[in-house]
Structure 1
């Protein structure tokens, strides 16, 4: 049974002020919480049993018709308490949203960082590693592709856009609830991955080896993707065992980093699927 709380209409309400602060990274980091804006993301979180503290909704919008109680999943919040469902004014919805025309519902979710050990617990794991990918849309799209291709995890290195930025969250389309994502020092983590037998693979327009010739199925593979303009940093590039290129028969200088990541993740999925048949 849902825990409905009294209607909130005032923008000066202390809880509203705390929610709105989560639009800024320093408060997300401090509180260990983030915002989910819109019907789709809230539904995905509920279906995945992600811990939510609050679901705030515009009572007059009729949005709850799309949220049957039996579909709420696990709604455990802070300290094991049930998630609170709070009717709020449209002004509050707008205050806690970055979009110009916000949907009539948002949630306050708890960060749930995965354990680093899980990176090595999957036989022939497939991990996407981001080195300074700055655009939130690119980061969110790569997380989405990683989840769709059955990747083990996504690792965000230094200089990469914040996973919990509202723009990144929207770009994941809820995929962050289905693939572990963690931040890490790549200078420490990549050597650890190599010591566990993983191949560290990068992309380069100067590489001689096609990605379609590389064997992604033989062992664990960590695919490393660099900054949109500069590519891999020199420090991270030193840990790469092999660089591959995505062949292009048409006329284009290069692919967007999210597109390149999607191609390689699904090529790995294709190869691994064929070996399992």
Structure 2
């Protein structure tokens, strides 16, 4: 006797399917902003999303021809009541950003964090407050690297200022390796929120090549916001005026400067070292 529940799932194979069109729209910032959702690609990122109680996936989409690779993940998603949809490889390619598509992607709501979530530690004046503020960074890989570094040292959050690449850009999402689910990340006007952080008791520091204190002479144990600028232009003048202290990363070699993501990583780990990490 056939059980209707044992029938194989319907496989979406047409790129003209309305749902496929909706998923494909999430490749653009306009589409993501309109729907309030974004796409994560690959087994690792989908697993990280399933581990997140904050924003679990709404839908998991997988290649029918490669479902064996996804079987444990799909079983877990179904057990959590998450919709799982089988598609053809051509549909997977249309909805994802990678040259060689991963066997699975998921549709996830945007993170719900607000700036007030980051102001609470600063207001308390605790040593645990450690925030990275990004001013106009354009490279998604750099942003993803900073998010991973901030996650690695247990930073309390990240603020994305005006002109910064979209957090939900597929390349940014991939380069975070799931760390975007581990700490608060918000968008805000740095010219407004940096003074608020200072008033709440945090020190606001940034890097500079002129007239700056060496990083290793700077006490990073108090509540601290670290400002990192654009890859080519650095911190904008308007934001720099809101920085309370400029520091210099000492270098013994002949390199003129560090990549923005590397500079942020050095500063984050120095703060962690001083705090007994």
Fold in common (TM above 0.5): yes
Is the CA contact 1:128–1:222 (under 8 Å) kept in the aligned structure 2? yes
Instruction: Tell whether 2:97 aligns with 1:98.
Output: yes
Instruction: Tell whether 2:108 aligns with 1:109.
Output: yes
| Structure 1 residue ranges, 4+ long, deviating more than 6 angstroms after superposition | none
Q: 1:110 to 1:74 in 2, by over 3 A?
A: farther
Q: Which runs of 5+ in 2 are unaligned?
A: 1-7
Is the CA contact 1:11–1:91 (under 8 Å) kept in the aligned structure 2? yes
Is the CA contact 1:47–1:73 (under 8 Å) kept in the aligned structure 2? no
1:54 to 54, 59, 62: 59
Is the CA contact 2:167–2:173 (under 8 Å) kept in the aligned structure 1? yes
TM-score, structure 2 as length reference? 0.91
Q: 1:92 to 1:207 in 2, by over 3 A?
A: farther
2:133 to 121, 129, 135: 129
2:21 to 17, 22, 40: 17
Report the count of equivalent residues: 263
Instruction: Tell whether 2:272 aligns with 1:266.
Output: no
Question: Once the 2 structures are TM-superposed, how far is the Cα of residue 114 of structure 1 from its aligned partner?
Answer: 0.6
Between 118-127 and 155-164, the greater mean CA deviation after superposition: 118-127
TM-score, structure 1 as length reference? 0.91
Q: 1:142 to 1:198 in 2, by over 3 A?
A: same
Corresponding residue for 1:252? Answer: 255
* Alignment partners' CA distance in 2, 1:88 and 1:51: 21
Q: 1:181 to 1:73 in 2, by over 3 A?
A: farther
Is the CA contact 1:5–1:85 (under 8 Å) kept in the aligned structure 2? no
Is the CA contact 2:115–2:188 (under 8 Å) kept in the aligned structure 1? no
Residues 195-274 of structure 1: pairs in structure 2 closer than 5 A: 195-217=199-221, 219-273=222-276
Where 2:151 maps in the other structure, the secondary structure is helix
Corresponding residue for 1:79? Answer: none
Q: What root-mean-square deviation, in Å, do the aligned CA atoms of Structure 1 and Structure 2 show?
A: 1.7
Where 2:209 maps in the other structure, the secondary structure is coil
Residues 42-78 of structure 1 deviation map (CA, whole Å, 9 limit, x = unaligned): 11111223321110001221222342634x4995xxx
Between 204-213 and 172-181, the greater mean CA deviation after superposition: 204-213
